[in-house]
Amino acid sequence: MSSKAMLKVQDDIKSLKQLLSVSASGLQRNALAIGHLKMEAALELKNADIALRTQKTPPGLQHENTAPYDYFRCLVDQFEVQLQQYRQQIEELENHLSTQVDHTSHNRVRITSLHRAVD
C-alpha cells in the first residue's frame, strides 16, 4: 500500500470520526428534546384530565376547586420567564450590535485617514 493511499485512508477515517461525533451530539440533543417533550405531554395530559373533571363538576361545587387558577397561574409564570429571557436576549443583541457599529465607524475613520495620508 502506498503512502498516498495510506494518507487518504487516514483522512477518510478522520472525516468519518468527525461525522460520527456530530451525529452522536445530535442524537444526544434529540434524546434530551424527546425527554422534555414527554414530560410536557404528560403534564398537558394531566391538565386535560383536570379540565375534564372541572367541567363535569357542578358549578355549586366549584368553590373549592383551585385547579383552573393553578393552571393559569403556572402559564402566567412561564410567560413571565420567557419575557425575561427575551428581554435579556434583546439587550445582548443590542449591545453586540452597538459594539459592531462602534468598530465599523472606527474602521471607516481609520481607513479614511489612511487614505488621506497616502494622497
Residue pLDDT, tens place only, 3-24: 888 899 999 999 999 999 999 9
Q: Residue 60 is part of which domain span?
A: 1-64
56/73 same-domain check: no
Q: Judge whether 67 and 50 are in contact, CB under 8 Å.
A: yes
47/74 same-domain check: no
58/72 same-domain check: no
Q: What are phi and psi of 17, to 5 degrees?
A: -65, -40
36/76 same-domain check: no
33/10 same-domain check: yes
- pLDDT-derived band at 55 (thresholds 50, 70, 90) equals confident
60/3 same-domain check: yes
The count of structural domains within the chain is 2
In this predicted model, which residue has the larger pLDDT, 85 or 100? Answer: 85
Q: Judge whether 71 and 50 are in contact, CB under 8 Å.
A: yes
